[in-house]
Structure 1
């Protein structure tokens, strides 16, 4: 019996990603077709069999699959219950045309660290307001894919550049409310996004996205103490909406903005947050 597919597709506000697809199919078989983008595929359940350049391959949970632009491929489920997959369609410039032949020869990578980064990237893309974090993960994913395709050993290189780290921190301090993309930061500071992230993390012990969110939460606390409603605080502090503010506020402080706002410190009166644990 045929099963109805479950599909979610959207175009994120992240430079370099044209489309995101989350889908579950029971018996659908893709005919031979092409995409004008790099297709970065992870399979969460089941197995997909596909042909690429007249060679048969398989996509399954343990591997990351990268299909190059403008090269025909098909796909069909191997198991009776079908497959569940997530796909990122990447702009061709993310990896470069010169690597297409390498991807045809080797479209799959058994790389747990790459898979974890892709999982984190999907998680950030599914949450509105996390474009900056998604860009950080995308930069690392692209770098690791390029390392595989150029036969270099993927690794995390230490970067000690306190000057560029301070310049990035100054930029984030200046723009933490409206935000700044990693591509913009890279253009302003003349450095690759992954270099910026590694230099910042090495210098300050925190990633640039976490730092930016911390600055926004600090501003939100001040505005809440001043009596501004949480829905207005979210906008003033640079969050996507009140839910976005609440998620990050609670993750960092252990309690939500409503608890904080109703119990915030008043002159001559100690503060108390019901249900909170730890210290602010």
Structure 2
């Protein structure tokens, strides 16, 4: 790593996430400061050392760091080449202020599943086109973080709930072009968002966002076979734009929408 600092920050259209930050710092050292949000941090290159509430901690690539709101911390690179990081800032209510003390006591976790889920959420948020997927991934991340904070690292036992799964599928089928948020579905089905994701995945072998995408691709096929142009089909089938349709269409069928109907 070399060169000047690079920072990309934005507020995604995802309830509960107040900011996303991707940054490379070759030499910058953060002075002591606080955030009014939960800070979920992963390091992609380098090693970071920081003081949290006057106690020193380190963060390498295999770990996840969770810094609680309103607790002073700083940050600096251990290595001369600097560090590259990705950060999610979550609203305080997403994990609860009653767990701040637990995060101060143990802010780092070696948890490959959690780190992979955070990485996947960053990928989705960078794309900015998969609302249901980002909501589902955030729900699972928050559940696992709370398990760590409460010292219950093992996931809850799997329970089949075909009724909940079936009702969610009906909602997804009924909202193909417009979509429905995970929170909206949870209110209608009377189940916690995380339970919705788990119940659906166990029942149908795929998460709800993947099911919704597949059904939208099916709908797009019907419109294409009617002779509608791909730019129009993308909107009618619920995709963000034509490139969004093309990416998922090619992933599902191996060809673009134009190739699908080409004689």
- Give the TM-score of the pair, scaled to structure 1: 0.91
SS at match of 1:126: helix
Corresponding residue number in structure 2 for 1:109? 109
SS at match of 2:170: helix
Corresponding residue number in structure 2 for 1:271? none
How many Å separate the matches in 2 of 1:153 and 1:87? 22
How many Å separate the matches in 1 of 2:97 and 2:156? 25
Corresponding residue number in structure 2 for 1:181? 181
Cα deviation for residue 176 of structure 1 reads: 1.7
In the TM superposition, what are the counterparts of 1:98-137 in structure 2 within 5 Å?
Answer: 98-137=98-137
CA contact (8 A) 1:165 1:200 kept: yes
In the TM superposition, what are the counterparts of 1:27-42 in structure 2 within 5 Å?
Answer: 27-42=27-42
Q: Encode CA deviations 1:60-81: one digit per residue, 9 max, x unaligned.
A: 1011000000111100111011
How many Å separate the matches in 2 of 1:47 and 1:15? 30
Cα deviation for residue 262 of structure 1 reads: 2.2
CA contact (8 A) 1:125 1:134 kept: yes
How many Å separate the matches in 2 of 1:96 and 1:113? 22
Q: Encode CA deviations 1:146-187: one digit per residue, 9 max, x unaligned.
A: 000001133263121111111101111111210111111112
Q: Encode CA deviations 1:71-100: one digit per residue, 9 max, x unaligned.
A: 111001110110000000011111000000
Corresponding residue number in structure 2 for 1:270? none
SS at match of 2:262: helix
CA contact (8 A) 1:65 1:109 kept: yes
Cα deviation for residue 103 of structure 1 reads: 0.3
- Give the TM-score of the pair, scaled to structure 2: 0.97
179-188 or 22-31, which deviates more? 179-188
Corresponding residue number in structure 2 for 1:212? 212
How many Å separate the matches in 2 of 1:103 and 1:116? 20
How many Å separate the matches in 1 of 2:154 and 2:199? 18
Corresponding residue number in structure 2 for 1:194? 194
How many Å separate the matches in 2 of 1:146 and 1:158? 17
Corresponding residue number in structure 1 for 2:245? 245
Corresponding residue number in structure 2 for 1:94? 94
How many Å separate the matches in 2 of 1:156 and 1:61? 27
Larger radius of gyration: 1
Corresponding residue number in structure 1 for 2:226? 226
CA contact (8 A) 1:3 1:27 kept: no
Q: Encode CA deviations 1:83-138: one digit per residue, 9 max, x unaligned.
A: 00000001111100000000001000000111111111111111121121011111
SS at match of 1:15: coil
How many Å separate the matches in 1 of 2:157 and 2:205? 16
How many Å separate the matches in 2 of 1:39 and 1:212? 30
**Structure 1 runs of 4+ off > 3 angstroms?**
none
Instruction: Give the CA RMSD over aligned residues.
Output: 1.1
